[in-house]
């Protein structure tokens, strides 16, 4: 906390100040607090200052205030006055420095990994303390064995003005239309660099126009890369507008021919790098105000879907098909660790009928199916449920069935009179809705395992479940190194 004298006035965008930063924000930025004397009476007022990227807790920096949201300011780091003793040189060149050119893919590569884990552990402990959780119930965080090259999916955006070189990369934090032109990515794989170079070279050699959201014209939108971390298979998807023919710098050209040119470019890069490309899609996005957005897919090369495999702690493996629209865990190797914790939780207290709420593509329920008589999954997304059913068939799992719908509504209507002795919930970031929490209390399962991606929502829901369930343990898991995100596997037993 720093006292800042601004001559009796409130701070405003454009002010440059020096302060010490205290902790990470939920989004991975750094937070500090300033106290400013206001008016003739010098009344002290507190303001929160957040720098989205570049700083670490304990560091002192000079920053420029950019935007104000009530008592919170966004700021841009200008210079580092006192670095953290835990600061390190990041492996990625796009994570170095303080300014706007920082990539938005990961925020914490400058922090020693052991300290990343410590901060995430503290975050879970701080949030659960608000729910009066006994700190002895919070176990040490599970680290990620491979904190680099762990993601199986990245979405890279195109950017560029007319007559300018095309950029391909990720948006810097706080900038929706700008793109950091990446030479590689430490989150996806070493092949990212040669792949992006090949696609960028194809776009520039062909003088392709980037789609402009402001002007609603242009062609290039996004390149999505998906990798099977346990199978070494890769799928690419080029996303464009529906413009056809495409207005290049010299002439109009058929969109199909241009898309096929991408295939030639990336297969050449794959051959040179000895990295396989198994599937290439071209998807046209039609988005008009007042009408639903539609996607038209064309398979340009290879097979319709790649495979990914989850290797479970008990020696079993499950195989999943991944197409351009498939939902899947972004860090499959660490997901194996997380699912192992859930499997172990139910191994201590075996269940006959398991209810899997917010089941997504059914990966948790399918991982547990061999230990249960029946698994019932509930998920709001129809495509995710379709994928769960297909995965059950592919892995010859006959005792799993899935319902599409809101969790609270399905429990009230379709599953009202059914009994379950085991319950898994893996809700979105905002946690259980009030209606869902009320219905969960009526399930009356002997054991409930809550997989959380938001410690604040977990703390709130543990408090709400307390009348029926008692927390046994909370296990933080680092699913996404170099970001602020942390998962927690909480095991609760019926009172």
Place of tokens 């990620």: 144
Token digits of residue 476 = 């933080």
Among 427, 453, 309, 306, CA closest to 367: 309
Distance CA 299, CA 283 (A): 9
Of 30, 92, 185, 453, which is the active-site residue? Answer: 453
CA 242 to chain CA centroid, nearest Å: 28
Please list the residues that pair with 329 across neighbouring strands. Answer: none
Place of tokens 């996806």: 188
Token digits of residue 262 = 């991408």
Give yes or no: 453 in active site: yes
CA 452 to chain CA centroid, nearest Å: 13
Place of tokens 């297909």: 390
First to last CA, the chain: 43
Distance CA 495, CA 489 (A): 19
Among 441, 424, 324, CA closest to 383: 324
**Rounded to 5 degrees, what angle do the CA atoms 220, 223, 229 make?**
175
Instruction: Verify cis geometry, omega within 30 degrees of 0, for the bond prior to 245.
Output: yes
Do the Cβ atoms of 447 and 72 come closer than 8 Å?
A: no
**Which strands make up the sheet holding 294-302, listed edge to edge?**
180-181, 167-170, 153-159, 220-227, 234-240, 279-286, 294-302
Residues recognised as catalytic: 453
């Amino acid at each position: 906390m720093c006292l800042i004298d601004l001559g009796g006035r409130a701070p405003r965008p454009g002010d440059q100040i020096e302060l010490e930063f205290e902790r990470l924000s939920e989004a991975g930025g750094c937070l500090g607090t300033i106290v400013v004397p206001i008016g003739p009476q010098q009344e002290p007022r507190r303001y929160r200052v957040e720098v989205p990227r570049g700083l670490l807790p304990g560091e002192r920096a000079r920053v420029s205030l950019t935007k104000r949201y009530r008592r919170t300011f966004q700021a841009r780091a200008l210079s580092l006055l006192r670095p953290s003793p835990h600061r390190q040189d990041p492996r990625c060149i796009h994570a170095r420095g303080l300014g706007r050119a920082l990539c938005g893919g990961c925020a914490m590569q400058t922090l020693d990994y052991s300290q990343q884990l410590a901060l995430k552990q503290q975050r879970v402990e701080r949030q659960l303390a608000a729910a009066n959780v006994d700190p002895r119930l919070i176990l040490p965080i599970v680290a990620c064995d491979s904190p680099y090259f762990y993601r199986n999916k990245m979405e890279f955006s195109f950017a560029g003005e007319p007559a300018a070189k095309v950029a391909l990369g990720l948006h810097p934090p706080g900038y929706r239309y700008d793109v950091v032109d990446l030479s590689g990515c430490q989150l996806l794989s070493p092949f990212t660099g040669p792949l992006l170079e090949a696609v960028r070279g194809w776009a520039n050699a062909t003088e392709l126009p980037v789609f402009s959201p402001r002007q609603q014209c242009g062609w290039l939108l996004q390149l999505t890369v998906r990798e099977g971390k346990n199978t070494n298979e890769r799928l690419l998807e080029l996303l464009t507008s529906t413009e056809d023919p495409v207005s290049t710098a010299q002439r109009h050209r058929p969109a199909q021919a241009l898309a096929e040119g991408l295939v030639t470019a990336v297969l050449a890069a794959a051959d040179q790098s000895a990295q396989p490309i198994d599937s290439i899609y071209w998807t046209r996005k039609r988005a008009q105000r007042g009408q639903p957005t539609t996607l038209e897919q064309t398979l340009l090369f290879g097979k319709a879907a790649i495979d990914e495999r989850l290797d479970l702690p008990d020696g079993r493996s499950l195989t999943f098909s991944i197409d351009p629209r498939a939902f899947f865990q972004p860090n499959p190797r660490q997901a194996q660790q997380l699912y192992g914790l859930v499997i172990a939780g139910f191994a201590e207290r075996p269940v006959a009928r398991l209810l899997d709420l917010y089941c997504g593509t059914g990966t948790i329920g399918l991982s547990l199916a061999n230990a249960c008589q029946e698994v019932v999954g509930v998920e709001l997304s129809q495509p995710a449920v379709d994928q769960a059913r297909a995965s059950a068939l592919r892995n010859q799992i006959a005792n799993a069935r899935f319902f599409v719908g809101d969790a609270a509504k399905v429990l009230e209507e379709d599953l009202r009179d059914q009994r379950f002795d085991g319950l898994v919930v893996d809700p979105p970031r905002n946690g259980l809705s009030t209606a869902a929490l009320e219905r969960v209390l009526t399930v009356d399962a002997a054991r409930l395992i809550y997989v959380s991606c938001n410690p604040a929502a977990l703390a709130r829901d543990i408090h709400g479940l307390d009348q029926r369930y008692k927390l046994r343990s909370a296990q933080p898991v680092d699913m996404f190194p170099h970001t602020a995100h942390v998962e927690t596997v909480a095991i609760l037993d019926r009172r």
